[in-house]
Structure 1
Amino acid sequence: MAMNEFGCDKVKLAPGALKKRFQLNTSYVMRLTSENLLRNFYLEAGLWSYSGQGGTTTASSANMDIPENWHWGWESPTCELRGHITGHWLSAAAKIFAQTNDQLVKAKADFIVAELAKCQVENGGEWLAAFPESYMYRIAKGKWVWAPHYTIHKLLMGLYDMYELLGNQQALDMMSNIASWFYKWTGQFSQEEMDDLLDLETGGMLEVWSQLYGVTGHEQHRELIYRYDRRRFFDALLRGEDVLTNKHANTQIPEILGAARAWEVTGDRRWRDVVEAFWKCAVTDRGYGATGAADDGELWIPPGKLSDRLGVGQEHCCNYNMMRLANVLLRWTGDAEYADYWERRFINGVLAHQNGEDGMVSYFLGIGAGSQKKWGTPTKDFWCCHGTLMQANSAYQEEIFMRYEEGIAVCQWIPSILEFEHDKQKVKIQLSQDAQFGLYPLNEWSVSGMEAITRVDIPPIPTSRPNRFVYRLTISCDNKLEFGLKLRLPWWLHGTPTMKINGVPIEGKFTPSSFIEIKRTWKENTVIDVEFPKTLTTETLPGQPGTVAFLDGPIVLAGLVAEERQLSGNLDEPESILLPDHERQHSWWNPGYYRTKNQPEGIRFIPLYEVMDQRYSVYFPIVDKKLFI
């Protein structure tokens, strides 16, 4: 491994708007009641029934028996996908606790695991789901059921995270019991019959079997990994075939995440080859839009044909799972291009899919003319993306800092604090990251901002919005220690950055989409000031030259207009089309705010992640005035 993650408990978000988004998500996660998260499992295990008369229940409060208080949508007792949200919830809760040490979160999560264990006992000791075993026998006979493997994967994933992050042994025991059921069930099928089953949506079953084997080392768990090898898909990828176009993207990405984990726990090179072949097919050869997505309406877009598919937009599940895959490849290779990809999809995906006021999710995120986000509700939808929303917004910190053999890598520029003890030297290290001006904080009050508008004995506020993002890293060690520090130079870098250690300039080769390494002996309160120049740029719509999206550094801009509008200007000089708008508000600058210049009708542009209910467009056809000079 070129890099490794620090544990969730080692990295914390610093105060600011991103932490508030994290807290908004945490509040929502905790508002979902245990009764509702467990109801379908109780129902299947015979521990609850609905009478319609105030009801009887052996496992919940009487309030659970009031239908308007239930979870509906895809968690309805009549929906075949019921139960998936509980697994997502457990994963989110585990990640939240690991970062916050919130004992209420832990108590609630442990309680849900204990109640699920009761359900497993009632089901015979192995089977555990919010639907009957008969669903699995139905799909084995070729009869349609809506993704039972996918749903169980979410539960297994949640149980694994409860074990890994909270140390809940009962969750691991339950996983092993479920694995016993699947070992027996899959043992009756021929290879061809198993291949037919895997052509249905199996979610990340391969990943959870790999996770389980990585903990237990049991041969049965290793065998499950190989039984869930989707050969028809994986072998075609290895042959270099495009087996993605027009296929369901979130069927395939979790399977590739499974192959990635299988390589890590088995050492079988074929699994890694599958992952690398997938990335080449899905990203390198296919290309993607300004947000990083190459899917629309859940389907993979043909290579270079994004212009033909500007429909409902990218799916949140695909966005989150492709970020997870980029994280894997960054760990394997140490290549900054994967951190760049993660950043693009985080800013213009995770943040853009979440309603910043109530924390709800937009299943799809359109980028075509006249798009509009459709927000979910707290308890009436529970789409698949509703579950990944809870996970994605409980895990901002996962890729900020990474370990490598010689030291620490700063992979994402997100205000945060890393605290850990060096394994060999036993020196305590703290690395804090603050954004003086950047994407973060997102329109946020700050003490420094308040001082800037009240005091006259400090440097004056610039007359215009800064054309650079400014960060400060502070490193403290309780004893002198020599190690390396890698800083990611982002893909959107425009010009030569400025870096200083305690005021002394750093010399080096500053290449976008790479790391610069600093090796030295660190001690208490070493300060590194970083300035990344940025500019307004355009990115062409794949398949349609002359149609572009506008970006302010890494921020995709959305024009607030309900239909396609043609703009005119010099494509090499986007500032001939847009000019700054609403630059400053009280004590902060607003990155990403622009308006059109010299156009028949004015259009305001704001960051895609700030769009709420407005109609908007991301791509605009441009009449290039150079052609008429």
Structure 2
Amino acid sequence: MHSAMSALRIGQIKLSPGPVQARFELNKKYIMSLTPMNLLRSFYLEAGLWSYSGNGGTTAASTTSMDGPEQWHWGWESPTCELRGHIMGHWLSAAARIYAQTEDMLVKAKADHIVGELAKCQEANGGEWLAAFPQTYMHRIADGKYVWAPHYTVHKLLMGLHEMYAIAGNLQALEIMKGIAAWFFRWTGRFSREQLDELLDLETGGMLEAWADLYGITGSEEHLELIRRYDRRRFFDALLDGQDVLTNKHANTQIPEILGAAKVYEVTGDERYRSIVEAFWRCAVTARGYLCSGGGDDGELWMPAGEMSARLGAGQEHCVNYNMMRLAHILLRWTGDAAYGDYWERRFYNGVLAHQHGENGRISYFLGLGAGSTKTWGSETGHFWCCHGTLMQANASYEPMIYMQEESGLAVCQWIPSTVSFKQGGAEISIRLEQDGQHGVYPMNNWSVAGMTSITRVDIPPIPAHRPDALVYKLTVSANEDSRFSLRLRMPWWLREGAVIRVNGTPQPGICSPFAFYEIERMWSSGDTVDVELPKGLTAEPLPGDPAAVAFMDGPVVLAGLVGEERRLIGEATDPGSMLTPDRERNHGWWTFGSYRTIRQERGFRLIPLFEVKDEEYTVYFPVEQAGGQQTGA
């Protein structure tokens, strides 16, 4: 029986030093490198504030500025691009989350300054309208003339403002949202229901979610009416009717609308919206299936259910990856079903981390899984694709899924090194989650003092002879008083037999089944420890639509073959060990994760985690046949 969970407040969870935190810091460094002037330039231009402040003095945007066009933002943020301004919302959202986790006042000050400048732009526009483009864009789409997704762009701004208010405590951001809402309330009031439905068939992004966020704060009847007006009934009713309205449709048009339905359910309690979300998940994930990475889209479009072998072209889109992770997070909260945590984990390792360059933090819009794929990296200020924005958010938002609170205690939903602080009854408790890089395998491991010490000292437990096929963790409890609560641990889908859980060194009873949570309910004291050993293995997953082709996974991580063309492998698809063997397993003071090479093949090649691929050509799916020429299915 699953039970609902509650998300912890942002800031209660802190990432621990290590490779995942290093990715977070890489993103923070990039966020802070973007200047307020460049982020605000098109907003200033639209508001008429580029060279004059309106009170007799020049602004920072003065035409006398020595900041030349070579330093400006281009690509989708260019002053000539209709989508300009979308990055502002992503930036504000990321900044709010980074501040809440780090308490870095420089981040807070920069974000607050930008919100203040946006308020000036809104005032110059008349007190309501605020965007990096003119109001005429909205009138043009109402007249049936094409404009590139103005609703989508406004939603990003509303999202960022909401998170600056709700997460970073900026009250001015809420007032700006109210002004924007007033404009849209008047504008949409002129349309019939049929005209609104036509508008909603364009890309509206997460406007429904934005109005639900606002209504959840204000309780205003006008904001509730905006929810009603932005209900995309044609799409939602078809989902409720059980129709496949996804195949070959633009995936990231639809997912934000479903996230909106989820938020409407949470602020109104209307069960219809929960049913819409559940119907979408069945159609998008359960019935459709997905690739080894968790993706069910290619080139921004949903692939046919169970038939994905002909769609390994452009690859999965980062926006889709991130928004499906957000949806999995919501559904885990609602249901407590570990399957949503499993799905999130796939998307995290083989999506968020795989789409980001591990050294410079740049983004790959698409992530191909076909033969001879490469990652195309966007520049720091020259592209600003939609995925550039979700990259900034995703890499500021690792922590909400690690732990969730329940009425009876705490659930560990992701195995990411971190510390969480919470209250249980009258007790103040913190739990530290660590990963053992010597007697387990530490994904994305790097140099550490502990690793170096392990290779010099002989008075400590010996290092295993070969790379262990397990992930090993320790949870340590700190509390100001003893407290009885339940600690539930997600046992992941990739778990093999033989999982061991010890409390203060004592093995725990029962079976640790994958796809579920293992529960420990007891009186906890400060200093109590829980050791968790999760055996994993090398597995092969068939390609939906072509079971004779497989992708290899090491635990939750997709492996990429460093080869630029399709290679047919000889072996048993159900026995990856007949084709692959560990390679370069030890690197001085640490184990290397996911490093393999082929064996007994005509031509050999290496495989590494997909998230470690940078500029190499790679291939993920391989046709497999038995010796003698017979194809095998996994």
Question: Normalising to structure 1: TM-score of the pair?
Answer: 0.97
Give per-residue Cα distances to partners, 1:462-513, cap 9 Å, x unaligned. 1110011100000111101111010000000011201100100011221101
Does residue 1:219 correspond to 2:232, yes or no?
A: no
Question: Alignment partner for residue 500 of structure 1, among 489, 499, 502?
Answer: 502
Amino acid at match of 1:245: T
> What is the aligned partner in structure 1 of residue 73 from structure 2?
71
Amino acid at match of 2:432: S
Q: Which runs of 5+ in 1 are unaligned?
A: 51-55
- How does 1:68-107 map onto structure 2 within 5 Å? 68-107=70-109
Does residue 1:119 correspond to 2:121, yes or no?
A: yes
Contact persistence 1:292–1:341 (CA under 8 A): yes
Q: Aligned in 2, Cα 1:302/1:36: closer, same or farther, shift over 3 Å?
A: same
Amino acid at match of 2:59: T
Q: C-alpha distance in 2, partners of 1:104/1:627?
A: 63
Does residue 1:321 correspond to 2:323, yes or no?
A: yes
Q: CA deviation at 1:137?
A: 0.3
Amino acid at match of 1:621: P
Q: What SS class does the counterpart of residue 442 from structure 1 fall into?
A: coil
Q: How many residues in Structure 1 have an aligned counterpart in Structure 2?
A: 622
Percent identity over the alignment is: 64
Q: C-alpha distance in 1, partners of 2:461/2:171?
A: 56
Q: What SS class does the counterpart of residue 539 from structure 1 fall into?
A: strand
> What is the aligned partner in structure 1 of residue 566 from structure 2?
564
CA RMSD of aligned residues (A): 1.4
Amino acid at match of 1:153: H
> What is the aligned partner in structure 2 of residue 436 from structure 1?
436
Amino acid at match of 1:60: A
Contact persistence 2:487–2:519 (CA under 8 A): yes
Contact persistence 1:11–1:418 (CA under 8 A): yes
Give per-residue Cα distances to partners, 1:268-287, cap 9 Å, x unaligned. 11000000000000000000
Amino acid at match of 1:430: S
Give per-residue Cα distances to partners, 1:383-427, cap 9 Å, x unaligned. 0000000000001111000001100000000000001333x41x1
Q: CA deviation at 1:96?
A: 0.1
Q: CA deviation at 1:626?
A: 8.5
Amino acid at match of 1:103: M
Q: C-alpha distance in 1, partners of 2:560/2:73?
A: 34
> What is the aligned partner in structure 2 of residue 58 from structure 1?
59
Question: Alignment partner for residue 239 of structure 1, among 231, 238, 241?
Answer: 241
Q: CA deviation at 1:442?
A: 1.0
Q: What SS class does the counterpart of residue 309 from structure 2 fall into?
A: helix
Does residue 1:178 correspond to 2:180, yes or no?
A: yes
> What is the aligned partner in structure 2 of residue 574 from structure 1?
576
Q: C-alpha distance in 2, partners of 1:439/1:146?
A: 46
Q: CA deviation at 1:65?
A: 4.2
Question: Alignment partner for residue 28 of structure 2, among 9, 12, 26?
Answer: 26
Q: Aligned in 2, Cα 1:433/1:420: closer, same or farther, shift over 3 Å?
A: same
> What is the aligned partner in structure 2 of residue 53 from structure 1?
none
Q: C-alpha distance in 2, partners of 1:232/1:598?
A: 55
- How does 1:134-213 map onto structure 2 within 5 Å? 134-213=136-215
Q: C-alpha distance in 1, partners of 2:387/2:239?
A: 27
Q: C-alpha distance in 2, partners of 1:13/1:385?
A: 24
> What is the aligned partner in structure 2 of residue 406 from structure 1?
408
Q: What SS class does the counterpart of residue 88 from structure 1 fall into?
A: helix
Give per-residue Cα distances to partners, 1:253-312, cap 9 Å, x unaligned. 000000000000011110000000000000000000000000000000010111011101
Q: CA deviation at 1:189?
A: 0.3
Q: Aligned in 2, Cα 1:448/1:65: closer, same or farther, shift over 3 Å?
A: closer
Contact persistence 2:445–2:592 (CA under 8 A): yes
> What is the aligned partner in structure 1 of residue 605 from structure 2?
603
Question: Alignment partner for residue 376 of structure 2, among 362, 374, 385?
Answer: 374
Contact persistence 1:42–1:59 (CA under 8 A): no
- How does 1:439-458 map onto structure 2 within 5 Å? 440-458=442-460
Q: C-alpha distance in 2, partners of 1:176/1:89?
A: 20
Amino acid at match of 2:544: P
Q: CA deviation at 1:428?
A: 1.2
Amino acid at match of 2:467: R
Give per-residue Cα distances to partners, 1:364-395, cap 9 Å, x unaligned. 00000000000010000000000000000001
Higher mean alpha-carbon deviation, 600-609 vs 1-10, is at 1-10
Contact persistence 2:51–2:59 (CA under 8 A): no
Amino acid at match of 1:435: Q
Q: CA deviation at 1:529?
A: 0.5
Q: CA deviation at 1:624?
A: 2.4
Amino acid at match of 2:90: H
Q: C-alpha distance in 2, partners of 1:570/1:248?
A: 37
Does residue 1:463 correspond to 2:469, yes or no?
A: no
Q: CA deviation at 1:439?
A: 6.2
Q: C-alpha distance in 2, partners of 1:592/1:491?
A: 18
Contact persistence 1:64–1:70 (CA under 8 A): no
Q: Aligned in 2, Cα 1:64/1:238: closer, same or farther, shift over 3 Å?
A: farther
Amino acid at match of 1:429: I
Question: Normalising to structure 2: TM-score of the pair?
Answer: 0.97
Higher mean alpha-carbon deviation, 197-206 vs 505-514, is at 505-514
